[in-house]
Amino acid sequence: GESVGLHLPTLSVQEGDNSIINCAYSNSASDYFIWYKQESGKGPQFIIDIRSNMDKRQGQRVTVLLNKTVKHLSLQIAATQPGDSAVYFCAETLYSSASKIIFGSGTRLSIRP
Amino acid sequence: DTEVTQTPKHLVMGMTNKKSLKCEQHMGHRAMYWYKQKAKKPPELMFVYSYEKLSINESVPSRFSPECPNSSLLNLHLHALQPEDSALYLCASSQGGGGVLEQFFGPGTRLTVL
C-alpha cells in the first residue's frame, strides 16, 4: 500500500536555530496533510495542517510547505527551543474522509544547548 | 475542557485475562478513534466511531472489541491478547460531521501482555 515516509529519522539542532523536518508522501490522491508533535509520554498533538490547494501555511513559529510536484512536505520551526524536543509525524489523508489518517514514520528532534 | 482522558495509564495483563480501556472527552466531539502505537513507530488506526456508530474497522482481530456507549465515552475491550499486542493505545476525538478535522489525542494506555 502507499505510505508516508520521512527522509531523516533523527535531527539535532542548536537551540535558537531553525529546524526543518522533511516528509515524502506517495499517495497522489491525498489532499490534506497534518503535522503532529509527540512528546515523551504523551499523545500526538496537532501542530499545523495544509490542504493541497495551498503550498505554504504559517502558524506561530511554524511553517508548513507543500510541493505537490515532488510529493514533498516540510515543517519549519523558527528559533528552536528546548520545548520543541519531540518526535514529529507528518500525516496524510483525504479531506473528504479525514477520519482515516496515515502517519509517516516520524523524526525525532533533539535540541543542543 | 479540551482534553481527552484515558484510563488506566498502564495495564499489565495475561493472555487469558479480560480487560477494558476507557476513553472520555467532553468537547462535544462526535467522532472518536482508537490507535495502536508500537515503540518508535507511528500510530496506526484501529477503529473509528462516528455519531456512536462504528464507521471504520481496520481489519483488527476480534480479540479487540470497541464500544461507544455514548458520545463522550469510548471503550476498548480486550480478551485473549497476545504478547505482540503490547503497545501504547491511543484514543482521539474530532468534531466529526464534516466540521473541523483536527484530532485531539489522549495520553494513551501503555499495555503489556505477558
Do B105 and A106 count as a contact with CB atoms less than 8 A apart?
no
The tens digit of pLDDT for each residue in B5-39 reads 999 999 999 999 999 999 999 999 999 999 999 99
Contact indicator for B37, B108 with CB cutoff of 8 Å: yes
The tens digit of pLDDT for each residue in A42-52 reads 999 999 999 99
Helix boundaries (H) for A1-113? none
Rounded (10°) CA dihedral A75, A78, A82, A87: 0
pLDDT band of residue A6 (cuts 50, 70, 90) is very low
pLDDT at A100: 85
Do A89 and B44 count as a contact with CB atoms less than 8 A apart?
no
> Could you give the 3-state DSSP secondary structure of residue A69?
coil
Q: Does pLDDT of A5 surpass 60?
A: no
Q: In chain B, pLDDT over 70 holds for what percent of residues?
A: 95
Q: Does pLDDT of A1 surpass 50?
A: no
**Distance, in angstroms, between B15 CA and closest chain A CA?**
25
Q: Does pLDDT of B44 surpass 90?
A: yes
The set of cell numbers assigned to B90 is 491511543
pLDDT at A99: 75
Q: Does pLDDT of B69 surpass 60?
A: yes
Q: Does pLDDT of B112 surpass 90?
A: yes
pLDDT at A2: 40
Q: Does pLDDT of A33 surpass 90?
A: yes
Calculate mean pLDDT across residues B86-109: 88
**Closest chain B residue to A104 measured between Cα atoms?**
B42
Cα dihedral across residues A5, B90, A108, A79: positive or negative: positive
**Distance, in angstroms, between B70 CA and closest chain A CA?**
19
Q: In chain A, pLDDT over 70 holds for what percent of residues?
A: 92
> Chain B contacts of A95, Cβ < 8 Å?
101
Do B48 and A99 count as a contact with CB atoms less than 8 A apart?
yes
Q: Does pLDDT of B90 surpass 60?
A: yes
Q: Is B66 left (phi over 0), alpha (psi -120 to 50) or beta?
A: beta
pLDDT at A17: 97
The tens digit of pLDDT for each residue in A42-90 reads 999 999 999 999 999 999 999 999 999 999 999 999 999 999 999 999 9
> Could you give the 3-state DSSP secondary structure of residue A31?
coil
Inter-CA distances, B80 with A39, A110, B62, B90, B107, Å? 31, 39, 10, 20, 24
- C-alpha A71/C-alpha A60 separation (Å) is 24
